[in-house]
Each structure stands twice: as C-alpha cells, then as structure tokens.
Amino acid sequence: MKIKITPVQLQNISKIGLFLCLIAIIAELFPTENTFKYQFEIGKPWSYDLMTASFDFPIYKSEEQINKERDDLLKDFTPYFQLDITTANKQINKLFSDEKIKTGKLPAFRNYLKSKFKSIYSVGIISVEDYNNLLETNRKNISCILPNRMTHTVSIDEVYTPKTAYEEIIKNAPDRINSYDLNVYLIENLKYDSTTTELSKADLLKNLSLTSGMVQTGERIIDRGEIVTQAIFMELNSLKIEYEKRKELIQQSAIVVVGEIIMISGLVFLFFLYINLFRPRIYDKFNDLLFISILIVMVMGLASFSMHYSSISYYMVPYALLPIIIRVFYDSRTALFAHVITMLIISLMVDNSFQFVLLQIIIGMVAVSSLKDMTQRSQLAQTALYIFLTYSLAFLAFEFISEGNINSVHWGQLIYFAISSVILLFAYVLIYFFEKIFGLISSITLVELTNVNSDLMMKFAEVAPGTFQHTLQVSNLATEAAKKISANSLLVRTGALYHDIGKMKHPEFFTENQMGGKNPLSEMDFEEASLIVISHVTDGVEIAKKSHLPEQIINFIVTHHGLSKTKFFYNSFINAHPEQKPNDAAFTYPGPLPNNKETAILMMADAVEARSRSLPEYTEESINEMVETMINSQIADGQFKDAPITFRDVETVKSVFKEKIKNIYHTRIVYPEAKK
C-alpha cells in the first residue's frame, strides 16, 4: 500500500525535523570541557548566589604553605654520596710509580704522602660543583654510603675538594713538595647518589599533608556580597581543583548530556510555540523558520568558538546581531523573544550567568528599540553606538553594586564591548546576503525601491504618465491606511508604486493615459477588450521579474485585483447579450486573492482612487458613499477572505480613505478677474 503524504503533512514533518536538528546542533555546540564557572579573588566580594558544597572535598593548602612545610621538612635533610674507599690505594700506587718520587726522596717523604692520601681519601674528595650545590642549599652534612651499604654522616666542612685536598697535603709537607704535580693524583671519590637521595626525600615528604581539613556536602561556603578571605579562597580553590579532577568523568556522564538536552529542548520549544501562536505568518513558511534557526545557530556558534579559546572573551561576540537582523525582516517582539531564548541557552555555557543574561536582555531591548524602522545605513552605526554605551553603563553599574569599590572594577571589559559593537557594523552585509539567499526584503531595500528617480520609475512616468500619477495617489492612500491599522506602511507604499507597471506595455489602452480622442478598446468586442485590460497584471509580473523586483513586490502586482471581474466590460456584455451566458474566465482577473493586510489595503486603495476620478461631483456625501460602495462590494465578492484583516481594520481604512479623498478634492476659492 502506497502512503500518500499531503503538502501540509510534509511541511509539518519538515518543521519537526528542523526543531530536532536545531536542538542537536545547539547541544553539539556546548563546550565538552566542564569548567569551574566562577571567578574570585582575595579581598573582593562574591558576585554570585549562595555557594554550598555539592560533594565532600578536602581543603587544599596553598602552594606557599606546601613549599614552606616542605622546606621545613628538608631543612636538616642530608643528601647521599657514594664513598669509594679503593680510590686511595689506586692513587697512591700511581703516585709512587712516578720516577721523581720513587728515586728522588727518602722513605720518610713517601710515608708522609701515603699517610696524607689515605687520610684524605678516607674522608672523601667531592667535586667542586657538588660542593657548591651543597653550600647553595645550606646543607651542613652529607650521608656517606660505604661499599657495605653502611652510612655515616659527615660535615661538609670535613670533606675535601681537589683544591682543599692539595692544600691539606702541602700544609705541613717537607720542603720542595711543590715541585711535584700532586693534583694529578687527587680525584673525586665521593660521588652524589641521586637515586638514594630522591628515594630518601620521597620517604620523608610522604608524611607531608597537602590538605588542612574537609568541607562536607551541603556546608555553606560563601554568599553574595561577602568578601573572599584567605580561608574562603582556599575552600573555593579546593572546590575548583576537585571539580577539575572530576570533569573528565562528568563530561562523559550521560546524565549531564540528558540535562543539557532537556533544557535546550524546552527553550527551543517555547520559541517555536511563540512563533506558532503569535506569528503564524512566520510559522507557516518553512523558509522563515529555517532562516531564524540559522541565525540562532550562528550566534551560538560564535559564542561556543569564543569559549574554546581562553584569549577570546565571550563578550566580544556580537550577540545583538540576532535581534537586529530579525527586527529588520520581521518585528520587534519576535526579535526580542528569539534573543532572550538564545541568551538563556548561552548562559548555561558561561560563568556568572546572572550578569550575562542581565546585560544581554538590556542590549536586546536597546537593539530592537533603536531600529523601529531601519531605512538608512547610518541607523546601524547609531544602534552600534547605543549598544556600546548601554553595555558600558550597565556593566559599570553592575560592577559598582557587586564590587563596592571603583578601584576593583574590571575596566578591560569595556574593550570587549567596543569590539562587539564594531562587529555589528557588518550586519548590513549579512542583511544583504540573507535577502538574496532566503528571498527576504528589508526596509532598506524598500526605501531604495521607492525612489521615483530610479530608471524603472522614470520610464514608467514617461511611458504611462496617467497611470504613474494614479500609483502615486494610491501609494499615499494605502500608506496612511496601513499606519492606522499597524500594517507595514513602507511595504504597502512600495507595492503600490509598482502594482500597475504592467500598463507600461500598452499604455494607450488605459483611460488615464489617453489625452482625449477615441478609446481603442471601444472598437473591440467586450471579451477581447477585457483580456487586454486583464493582461496588465501578467505584463506587470514580466516587467518586475526582468527588473529583478522582490517576490514580495510582485505579490502586490498579482493580487491587486484579486479574482474580481472587469465589471465595465462584463456588465456591458450582459446588457448587449442578455440571452447569452458570458465566459467568466474572459472577464476575471487571474488572482490570487490578497493574502495579507498590505495587499488587501492596496486592493481597496486602488479601487477607491480609480473610482474617485469618475465622480460627477465631490461632496462629503458622494465621497463617503463611493468609498463604502467600492469596499463593501469587494467584501461581498469575497476578495479579502484570505487576508488576515478584521472588520474593525476595514472600517478604519474606510475612514482614512474618506478623509484623504476629501482633502484631495476640496473646494478651492475662485479668484476674481481684474477689472479694466
């Protein structure tokens, strides 16, 4: 059995897939390293909430304490040296094999040398380098290891170096001993035993305790505003050490991952729920949901990247890009909601989450407030400046509250805020990029399109001057009405300027461009004439596409007549052929119907402005009746059934049109002629 999936079901599946992908990507962006998310210094107040021990941990001594206790233990430590007692006989034999000594001196002289050599080598000769090391480390004694592994302690004042050994020999020696090169026979026989020394040190230091107490689970450590003393610092530092020791186990723990996914899923779900309930126009378009999701992932990715590198502060990330770009394409409420949700997720990754969330919510408010309508490039620079000033003031206020001392403020953070604000200037490039990729339209683009001095508008005014003037009047009417019912007035204005550009192809067929004379449509049959009039819609789409106008503007061209009929030709056909059924398709515009407030307003403004030109007289009663008749007939024809516009909105639009048309066609003073 083949399963059929409707377009609606396919769209819902796509949205669920996007929801799950967004959660998975955000979870993947979370840092894999679990870091201790608190910063503290001795003498500064604790700027976080109450801290209690979540597990038992020892209080580690400071490095200074450990070094001091280690030095105390090793103060009387004696390093070990191996004493080679065979060296004396070897060197005496070498000495007496010397021809000068063997033949040139009496036995008493040789006995003196033998006695001295034995005496010196029995104590030991040490190298100059080892001797200096002993002096530098303030060692007074050394432990001599004999060949039988027996040891005895010797003062370093008693041991010899080659130099002091030679001096000892010649001190009471017979005459002319200096003529013999005795230094050759004085070598080190007391050599440093590093292995035994280090083992002995380790055995001595194993009794050195690295801790000085325990903190029990649930025990209070510090609360907000308290000063970090030396004792509290040791407890906090000990907690950090234990946390770092456990982090490898924690980051592999499935329960941590589950917790992150639950929190991320909940926040993302709230955002999707908001879009579904309050912004159905965005929710119904998968392209718009994808665009906003990509923006969220982009900001999350920048935050995650900054946390992987300790040299980059996460405050350098331009978080305000998110609300700025969303505000440009959508609305302030959606921009702020998306920003708050994203910042709450990022706060799970940073230290001092309270300060981070507080600052970012304030920045989000400033961003959307300063960009109510982004119509100029300079507004982005102003917004960046406002954000930097707000960042700085809010941060300094927070520092003053938590530190209580201006000298303790971390002024370096202001540099990060400045960098973040400067990066915001690149939002203009991103806005242009996203416009092209996702087919969106920004206020800046709309302002550019409303330029009546553009090539297309200049040609329009030249080729179809009457129609051009009509579009200007329609644009003014529609803009005022849009402002009153909180529609996008700039979008309506732009759409109105282009809604009739199809008449450029055959301007002579439309009465507003005819300078008197015979109407060429009157010589055609009603169906042919109707099709020519209707064709200005398809011609307009063709011209718009060649001119690379956005789809949102083309939507005004195809919907400004909806599925209405060319009533002049339709009624004329019925009157001329009462017995013949008319071909409705020949007299009906292709549509579709207006699908938003803006296109609905344009349809009303277009019909009312065109009809106002044919009024026999301009009185308050005739204008009111004309507006009511035209719009009520459109409602009766079901032209607005696809547009989210209320009856209250329609009544507001009517009142705006009445007032504007009265102002256009108000009675003027007749100037008297001068009498001759």
Report DSSP letters for 114-169, one per residue: HHHHHHHHHH-BB-HHHHHHHHHTT--EEEEEPTTS-EEEEETTTSB-HHHHHHHH
Residue type, 527: E
Helix, strand or coil, per DSSP, at residue 344: helix
Q: Which residues contact 312 (CB under 8 A, 6 or more apart)?
A: 305, 306
Q: Is residue 475 over pLDDT 80? A: yes
Q: Which H or E run contains 220?
A: strand 220-222
- Residue 590, preceding bond cis, omega within 30 degrees? no
Q: At 354, which amino acid appears?
A: F
User: What HEC string does 265-276 produce?
Assistant: HHHHHHHHHHHH
Lowest mean pLDDT among 186-195, 223-232, 536-545: 223-232
Element (H, E) at 57: strand 57-60
Q: What distance in Å separates the CA atoms of residue 619 and residue 615, rounded to the nearest whole number?
A: 9
- Residue 265 has what pLDDT? 96
370/387 Cα distance (integer angstroms): 9
Q: Answer whether 119's CB lies under 8 Å from 141's CB.
A: no
pLDDT digits (tens, 9 = 90+) for 229-267: 888 888 888 888 887 777 655 554 677 788 889 999 999
Which residue in the block uniquely carries the two structure tokens 């030709």?
Answer: 569
Confidence of residue 315 (pLDDT cuts 50, 70, 90): very high
Residues 6+ apart with CB under 8 A from 404: 45
- The C-alpha atoms of residue 98 and residue 52 are separated, in whole angstroms, by 81
**Confidence at residue 404, expressed as pLDDT on a 0 to 100 scale:** 65
Largest CA distance in the chain: 166
Residue with tokens 């277009």: 606
pTM over the 0.85 mark: no
Higher pLDDT, 149 or 253: 149
Give me the half-sphere count of Cα atoms (radius 13 Å) on the Cβ side of residue 484: 21
Check: CB of residue 530 under 8 Å from CB of residue 569: yes
pLDDT at 671 over 60: no
**Stretch 655-675: mean pLDDT:** 76
Higher pLDDT, 671 or 180: 180
Q: Give the list of residues 6+ apart from residue 549 with CB closer than 8 angstroms, or none.
A: 449, 498
Cβ(163)–Cβ(187) below 8 Å: no
Q: pLDDT-derived band of residue 302, with 50, 70 and 90 as boundaries?
A: very high
Contact 522, 514 (CB under 8 A): no
Domains for the chain: give ranges and CATH numbers: 19-31+254-438 (no CATH), 70-205 (no CATH), 443-664 (1.10.3210)
Measured in degrees and rounded to the nearest 5, phi and psi for residue 80 equal -100, 140
Report the side by side order of strands in the sheet with 190-192: 151-155, 141-145, 80-83, 190-192
Residue 628 tokens, joined: 């009511």
Yes or no: say if 363 and 319 are a contact pair by the CB < 8 Å rule: yes
**pLDDT of res. 579:** 86
Highest mean pLDDT among 167-171, 515-519, 529-533: 529-533
Report yes or no: 497 and 453 within 8 Å, Cβ to Cβ.
no
CA distance 380 to 600: 32
State mean pLDDT over 408-429: 88
The label of the residue with tokens 């032209």 reads 639
Of 119, 124, 189, give the one whose Cα is nearest residue 156: 124
What is residue 270's predicted lDDT score, i.e. its pLDDT? 97
Give CA torsion, residues 342, 347, 349, 351, to 10 deg. 160
pLDDT in tens, 566-620: 988 888 999 988 888 888 889 999 989 999 999 999 999 999 999 998 888 888 8
Nearest residue to 570 (alpha-carbon basis) of 509, 523, 529, 520: 529
C-alpha span between 389 and 397 (Å, rounded): 12
Q: Band of the pLDDT at 213, cuts 50, 70, 90?
A: confident
| pLDDT over 60 at 32, yes or no | yes
What's at 468, amino acid-wise?
F
Tokens of 472: 């200007």
* pLDDT at residue number 492: 96
Q: What is the pLDDT of residue 180?
A: 67
Rounded to whole angstroms, the Cα distance separating 379 from 382 reads 5
Residue 129 CB contacts under 8 Å (≥ 6 apart), including other chains: none
The pLDDT assigned to 522 comes to 81
Q: What was the pLDDT predicted at 185?
A: 83
Of 120, 225, 227, 226, residue with least CA distance to 169: 120
Residue 71: CA count within 13 A, CB half-sphere: 8
CB-based burial of residue 248 (10 Å sphere; 0-12 exposed, 13-18 middle, 19+ buried)? exposed
Least confident residue range of 128-132, 360-364, 369-373: 369-373
Count CB neighbours of 222 within 10 A: 22
Least confident span in 72-81, 476-485, 624-633:
72-81
What is the rounded distance in angstroms from the CA atom of residue 355 to the CA atom of residue 412? 16
d(CA 122, CA 84): 9
Say which residue the tokens 């009517």 belong to.
654
pLDDT digits (tens, 9 = 90+) for 101-118: 655 556 777 788 888 888
pLDDT band at 89; cut points 50, 70, 90: confident
pLDDT, the chain, mean:
87
| Helix (H) / strand (E) containing 256 | helix 254-278
Answer for the pair 631, 503: CB distance below 8 angstroms, yes or no: no
